[in-house]
Every structure is written in structure tokens, then in C-alpha cells.
Amino acid sequence: MEDEVFRLLRFSYDQLDDLTLQQCLLYCALFPEDHIIERDDLINYLIDEGIMKGMRSSQAAFDEGHTMLNKLENVCLLESAKKMFDGGRYVKMHDLIRDMAIQIQQENCQIMVKAGVQLKELPDAEEWTENLVRVSLMCNQIEKIPSSHSPRCPNLSTLFLCDNRLLRFISDSFFMQLHGLKLLNLSRTSIQKLPDSISDLVTLTTLLLSHCYSLRDVPSLRELRALKRLDLFKTELENMPQGMECLSNLWYLRFGSNGKMEFPSGILPELSHLQVFVSSASIKVKGKELGCLRKLETLKCHFEGHSDFVEFLRSRDQTKSLSIYRIFVGLLDDEDYSVMWGTSSRRKIVVLSNLSINGDGDFQVMFPNDIQELDIIKCNDATTLCDISSVIMFATKLEILNIRKCSNMESLVLSSRFYSAPLPLPSSNCTFSGLKEFYFCNCMSMKKLLPLVLLPNLKNLEKLVVEECEKMEEIIGPTDEEISSSSSNPITKFILPKLKSLRLKYLPELKSICGAKVICDSLEEIKVDTCEKLKRIPICLPLLENGQPSPPLSLQNIVAYPEEWWDSVVEWEHPNAKDVLLPFQCFSAKSLVASHSFEIEIYSPDRIKLLRFFFFMIKIL
């Protein structure tokens, strides 16, 4: 690095007003060149290393960590980064800044960084000096660590061997003289057995073994009483490591095996400092034991029965809410795993799957009152949401409702709860008042989806998706009770002020979206696919001063199939609406082979050129 460039970068580093910020920046140099670093991972390391101190909760630490990273981005010492098809948050360090950070740390020979340089063997013995504090050998091709390697590094506190995906064997001698080790990361390696000498690393505070898909054997952890973070996610372990009940200082535990396992009784109550507990879908946990963890802030787990879930909620301290939860309740099918570990941006999610609903009304699921997303999948004997839980009517913070493959569901809610009263005025605390996205798919008994009584509550609805419901006749319409109790002045207009996306697909009996006019001036897309009994789109377009319709300013596209039906049968509220909307229309070409066919939207010639360029780039890459 040229002296002048280094001087300028060093000046920017020295100008940081906080030693913690400086240490955070230096830590990023442990990663390979051009490496995209996940923010949450980096913040966890800063907590592990004690760089971030004095936080009373993990959520407070993460909030402070993101603030620090934002500051480093703002002064251009870190860059914001993204990964394709990934909504996560990442940062990246410029190569010159990384060189500077390594040089600063090497002034006292405190670190060895050989990350992502295609190493096939460990560095030579003379490079393992006694004053080393941190060593990063991540992202290499090291295959084994033989018994000839036993570095004497009493001050070494951090060792990254993660992402050496060919690493299958580590000799017992390797850790014998690393008695000061605090952080050990072996994630995403192919090790099958952890050396017994790990059990003697009594200063270890962080042990990371996630995504070690071949790992079957971990020695006793009984003596690792200083351990605060333990990650055993996605391994081949058939049993919990011995001595887990002794790890009373753990604040973070992530555990998951490819095989089905029940979390042993008696361990969780001993982990009283636990703030983060994540277990894979194949691990069954007991609700009462989880509920006694008073410091818990983040929870991702699977309760096989709804009774365990209810027991968990009853055992919780009701004055303290979880910051993040993704809770799966019920029996799992293979396809449910992706639902449990999906990429939803919501922080508070409950998934119900394959639950048996008692016909006598005894079955009722409780929910945290701050739930943001509810997924209901394959609860086949539920005829209404109220069969599953009546309290969901009061979950006013619910933003996403996803109902799929509930074959006997006939109505969304029991309108008898509402219809005796006049239609309510919109309120911030009524049923579904916070709902933003509603997905209703593969439910074969439903004929009318949304009763009129609910419409005034849906002022925040942004997305409505209804797919593959073979008996669906009307999306918004009166129930029999509403018809019998209706006044002589029927409702002629509804407003959905925030609706952006309307998607209707494979609804062969659909005859009506809504009998009344619908005003939704925020619409961005309309997709109607294979709904050939539908003859009318009740959406009212804004009118110009001359009375002619105008597309909403937000509108981007209208996708319809088949084209002949759309052009010849479907009518809008205004006779000139079709002409006005013509520039926004495109049609789907379908493969007749696959039941869930791949769609290609046909756009203008300019967009076709863009698509051709896109596929050309894929081909050459």
C-alpha cells in the first residue's frame, strides 16, 4: 500500500470518536477480501469478543451494533452490501481499508489473517507465535490437521477455521496448548468428530459448529462453564452433548439435527441466562420448560402438539414479551420445513400445521397478542378460523394471514359474531385492522371469502392473493346471515385505500370479486389467471374532470389469462376503462405439461429485448 494512501486511510480511522468503532472496523479485516459479511453475524462476534459491553439484553446489543455499522458506512469505511435473492443486511470492506486494518493489528504481531487464500494445509509452525491473539484461516481448502500440529499460543483467544469445507479431521493435539482460547468457529466444515481436547478449553466462551453436516460426536461440555454462545445447528448429532446442564452462563443456544429428537427434560431450566433459543423443526421441546426462561428474547422452535404451545404461553412471564419468535405448532411434513425457516421479514410468527380440531369446541389455540404473522396449513377439519382460535379476532397487530390447504374451511369468521350490529366504522383495534397481506390458497370448500362486515376493518390491506380454490364463487360478498339481516339500503361502495396487489389464480367457479364497487387508488398490479366465469372487475378508476377514467398513478401492470376471455368477456365499471388500461396489460403463456406451470409475461418489444439480454447473461455466466 502506498504511504500516502495509507496515511489518508489511517487519518479516517483515527478520526473515529469511539474505541469500540475502531475495534469493530479492525475486526472486519478477519474476513476474506471482498467478503460480504452478514450484519447479525458480525454483531454476534463483537458481543462474543467483549467489544460491545454493558448491554442488558441481546436486542439492545443488536440495536447498538447496527448503529455502529451505520456510522462506519456513513464515513465510507464500510460499504452496504446485498446478496441476490436474499433480504438480509450485509456490509463489505474495501480491499485498501482491509489492508490498512490488518497492518494496524500486525504492528504488535497480534493477528494472523490468511482467509480465502486457497490454503490446503495449516501455516508452518514458526508462524504460530506466542503473542498471537486472533487467527483467521476461514474460507480455505484445508483438509486435515494432523497430530504434528500443536501450536503453543497461550494468548490466542480467537480462531476461525470455518468454511474449510474439506476439513474432515482435527487431531487431539491441536488444542492442547491453546488454553486461552475463547472463540472457536468450525462452522461449515466436514468434521465428523470433535477432538476430546475441546473439553479442556475451560476459557471458551463461544463454540460455533453450525452446518457441520457430518458431525456426529461432540465430547462432554461439562467443564466449559464459561461458555456463553453454543451453535450446533444442522449437524448429524443424534443426542445432546453431555454436560449441557452445566452451561449456566449460556445466553445463546442454537441446536438442530437432521434426525428427529426430543430436547432432554431438565436441561432448559438450568440455562437461566438464555436469551436466544433456536431449535430446528425436527427437535421437539417442552412448552413448560421453555416458559420458565425469564430472560428469553428470541425463540425459534417446534411444538409437536398445541397443548405444549399453550403450556409455553401460560408459563411465560406475561409482563415480558419476546422480541423475535417463529414458533411451529403441529406435525411436520417435509414441505413444512421451508415454511418454518422461510425468509419472512416479520419478527413474530406462528405456524400451525396438521392440527386436529375437536368437533366439540374444546380445541382453542392461544396466541401472543403481538403476533405479526399467522400461517395455517393443512388444518383440515377446521371449518372457520374460530374453530382454531377465537382470540385471533383480537390480534390487532397481525399483518400477514396465510391460510393454505385447509380443505374443509367454509368461512373465514363466524359472521354471527358481527352481523347483529351495524357495520362498524374503521378502528385501529378491530378484527384484522392491522392486516397487510392475506393469502388464501388450496382451500377447496370455501365459496365466499370475505364477509361484508369485515371490509371496513381492512383499511391497511396491501396484498390479497387467492389461488386454487375450486369452489370459490365470490371474493367479497354477504353471507346468508348478512343477507337475511340486511337493510333496504344495500352497500354500493367499499374503499380499500392501501391495496397494492390483487392476485386471483385457478378459481374455476369465481363469478364475482365483489357485488359493490371497490375503490383502491393505490393499486400497483392486478393478476387474474384462469378465472373464466368472472365477467366483471368492480374496481373504480379515478375520474378526470371530463368524466373519463384514468389509471391509478401507482398502477404498473395487469396480467391476465387467457387473453381471449379477458378481451371478450370481462367488463369494468366504466365502459372506457379497458381502453385506458390497455398499455398496462400483458398476458401469460403457459406450459400445458406441468400442473404448476412456469409463467412468461409478454411485454413490449423493449422489455423482450431486456429479457433476451438477461437470459444471455445467465448463459455466459
Task: Using the 3D structure, point to which of 259, 291, 322 is the last residue of a domain.
Answer: 259
pLDDT in tens, 277-303: 999 888 888 899 999 999 999 999 999
More confident residue, 586 or 391: 586
Residue 269 in any domain: the answer is no
pLDDT in tens, 529-541: 999 999 999 999 9
Angstrom distance (rounded) from CA 468 to CA 251: 45
Same domain for 148 and 73: no
Same domain for 335 and 441: no
Residue 367 in any domain: the answer is yes
pLDDT in tens, 3-22: 788 888 889 999 998 999 99
Give residue 607's pLDDT: 44
Count of domains in the chain? 4
Residue 464 in any domain: the answer is yes
Amino acid at 101: A
Contact by Cβ (8 Å): 539, 494: no
Mean pLDDT of 347-355: 91
Amino acid at 463: K
Identify the domain containing residue 578 by its residue range. 410-416+427-480+492-621
3-state SS, 90-120, equals: EEECCHHHHHHHHHHHHCCCCEEECCCCCCC
54-88: string of b/e by CB count within 10 Å (b at 16+)?
eeeebbebbebbeebbebbeeeebbeebeeeeeee
Contact by Cβ (8 Å): 287, 301: no
Give residue 485's pLDDT: 62
Residue 560 in any domain: the answer is yes
Angstrom distance (rounded) from CA 291 to CA 282: 20
Task: Using the 3D structure, point to which of 74, 107, 140 is the last residue of a domain.
Answer: 107
More confident residue, 349 or 424: 349
pLDDT at 483 exceeding the cut of 90: no
Same domain for 362 and 226: no
Residue 306 in any domain: the answer is yes
Task: Kindly list the distances between the CA atom of residue 338 and the CA atoms of 327, 351, 486, 557, in Å, as whole numbers in the listed order.
Answer: 13, 11, 44, 30
For 154, what's the count of Cα atoms within 13 Å in the CB-facing half-sphere?
0
Give residue 362's pLDDT: 59
C-alpha cell of residue 239: 443426542
Task: Kindly list the distances between the CA atom of residue 36 and the CA atoms of 94, 116, 165, 482, in Å, as whole numbers in the listed order.
Answer: 11, 12, 18, 56
Question: Hey, how many other C-beta atoms are within 10 angstroms of the C-beta on 154?
Answer: 12
What angle (nearest 5°) sits at the alpha carbon of residue 245, between those of residues 242 and 249?
120
Q: For the chain, give the percent of residues with pLDDT over 70.
A: 86
Same domain for 584 and 437: yes
Angstrom distance (rounded) from CA 463 to CA 482: 25
pLDDT band at 492 (very low <50, low <70, confident <90, very high): confident
Angstrom distance (rounded) from CA 48 to CA 230: 11
Write the DSSP symbol of residue 272: T
Angstrom distance (rounded) from CA 330 to CA 381: 14
Contact by Cβ (8 Å): 299, 277: yes
Same domain for 144 and 103: no
- In this structure, of 85-94, 424-433, 436-445, 462-471, the range with the lowest mean pLDDT score is 424-433
Greatest CA separation for the chain: 93
Same domain for 556 and 503: yes
Mean pLDDT of 199-210: 97
Same domain for 143 and 88: no
Angstrom distance (rounded) from CA 179 to CA 159: 12
Mean pLDDT of the chain: 86
Task: Using the 3D structure, point to which of 229, 259, 289 is the last residue of a domain.
Answer: 259
Q: What is the DSSP string of 520-584?
A: -TT--EEEEES-TT--EE-EEPPB-TTS-B---TT--EEEEE-HHHHHHT-EESSTTHHHHHGGG
Mean pLDDT of 125-129: 93
Supply φ then ψ for residue 279, to 5 degrees. -130, 150
> The CATH number of the domain where 59 resides is what?
1.10.10.10
Residue 358 in any domain: the answer is yes
Same domain for 289 and 165: no
Residue 281's nearest CA partner among 263, 264, 307, 306 is: 263
Q: What is the DSSP string of 167-198?
A: --EE-GGGGTT-TT--EEE-TT---SB--GGG
Give residue 271's pLDDT: 95
Same domain for 78 and 116: no
Same domain for 73 and 131: no
Angstrom distance (rounded) from CA 549 to CA 577: 6
More confident residue, 374 or 338: 374
Residue 154 in any domain: the answer is yes
Same domain for 125 and 52: no
pLDDT at 417 exceeding the cut of 60: no
> The CATH number of the domain where 218 resides is what?
3.80.10.10
C-alpha cell of residue 131: 503473542
Contact by Cβ (8 Å): 492, 470: no
**Helix (H/G/I), strand (E/B), else coil: 2:** coil
Same domain for 190 and 83: no
Give residue 560's pLDDT: 94
pLDDT at 605 exceeding the cut of 60: no
Residue 405 in any domain: the answer is no
pLDDT in tens, 510-523: 999 998 899 999 99
More confident residue, 555 or 597: 555
Angstrom distance (rounded) from CA 497 to CA 28: 45
**Helix (H/G/I), strand (E/B), else coil: 124:** coil
pLDDT in tens, 164-203: 999 999 999 999 999 999 999 999 999 999 999 999 999 9
Give residue 345's pLDDT: 73
Angstrom distance (rounded) from CA 292 to CA 277: 13
Please tell me the pTM assigned to this model: 0.85
pLDDT at 606 exceeding the cut of 50: no
